[in-house]
Structure 1
Amino acid sequence: MASPAFEEIVETFEFLEDWEDRYRHVIELGKAFPPLDPAFQVPAFKVEGCASQVWLRPRLEGQGAAARFDFEGASDAMIVQGLIAILHALYAGLSSAEVGQVDAVAELGRLGLNEHLSAQRSNGVRAMVERIRKVAAAA
């Protein structure tokens, strides 16, 4: 169910042999991710449960079952900004129903992130995924 953008990230990770290179790639993804307007870096969009400051601003394009989920995001930590970009590749463009069907743990596991993120970062990723799923389910 992964998007072509996420599959491209998986392929790149398979090509990069050591985790230092993979971390650098995650940071590069974050730097390339469009910035979130500071006007949206407010409590309503803040993700609780992250060690870093994280804001996700969801957007739905379209109506009803045909609506497509998207979001903007920002973090004060470079690696977390990259994780936001990875989650964007995983979820953006899916219908609200499809968002709920994504097994984020399994998909992110394909990148090996489960074994290489600190407990705090892993908790933050889970909090971001929960926020994404909650917003999509409410749509």
Structure 2
Amino acid sequence: MATIQDIQEEIVDEFAMFDDWMQRYEYMIDLGKNLPLIDETQKTEDKLIKGCQSKVWVDAQLDNEKVHFTADSDAIITKGIIAILIRAWSGQKPQDIIAANTDFIDQIGLKEHLSPTRANGLVSMIKQLKMYAVAYQSQLN
């Protein structure tokens, strides 16, 4: 299985192929269409990420000591953003998710091309995914 670093580098390389941000937004929307969707029954208040302008639900399950994320959003750009994070971190060990840096977000220029409220939402998404990893890590110890 690819490491988080390997996957993040792939994402950076993929975004580098596009000349402008309209193409990158379109790519993010496509990534969102392939997002592992959260089960409709899991779209509950406790799965909703606080701090997002859009509604974003995230669930995590631990299987074979690896965290698997599913998510959904009511906004197509936000769905693409969470898809990028899930692609980088889903299927990884909790301690690797906790230790993972988010430099790849800056490398693809995502934060600087988001509105302040979407950028805050991105930070909230990162925090929530890492909190799931921390919770599962404590179960494994």
Quick check: TM above 0.5? Answer: yes
- Structure 2 CA distance, aligned partners of 1:39 and 1:136? 22
Question: Structure 2: 5+ residue runs without aligned partners?
Answer: 137-141
The one-letter amino acid of 2:123's match is: R
Deviation at 1:9, TM superposition (A): 2.3
Structure 1 runs (4+) deviating above 4 angstroms are: none
State yes or no: 1:132 paired with 2:129: yes
2:120 match? 123
Describe the SS at the equivalent of 2:36. Answer: coil
RMSD: 1.3
For structure 1, which runs of at least 5 residues remain unmatched after alignment? none
- Normalising by structure 2, report the TM-score: 0.89
Q: Note if 1:85 corresponds to 2:86.
A: no
* 1:67-100, Cα deviation, whole Å (9 max, x unpaired): 1111000000000111111001111122111111
TM-score (norm 1): 0.90
- In structure 2, the partner of 1:102 is 100
User: 1:3, CA displacement in angstroms?
Assistant: 4.7
Deviation at 1:44, TM superposition (A): 1.6
In structure 2, the residue corresponding to 1:93 is in which secondary structure? coil
Partners of 1:34 and 1:138 in 2: CA distance: 21
2:126 and 2:119 map into 1 onto residues whose CA distance is 11
State the alpha-carbon separation in 2 of the partners of residues 52 and 137 from structure 1: 25
Pair 1:14-2:12 in alignment: no
1: distance between equivalents of 2:55 and 2:87?
20
- 1:11-66 CA-to-partner distances (Å, cap 9, x unmatched) read 1210101000000000010012232221111112111100000100011112xxxx
Partner of 1:113: 110
Asked if 2 retains the 8 angstrom alpha-carbon contact of 1:83 and 1:125, the reply is: yes
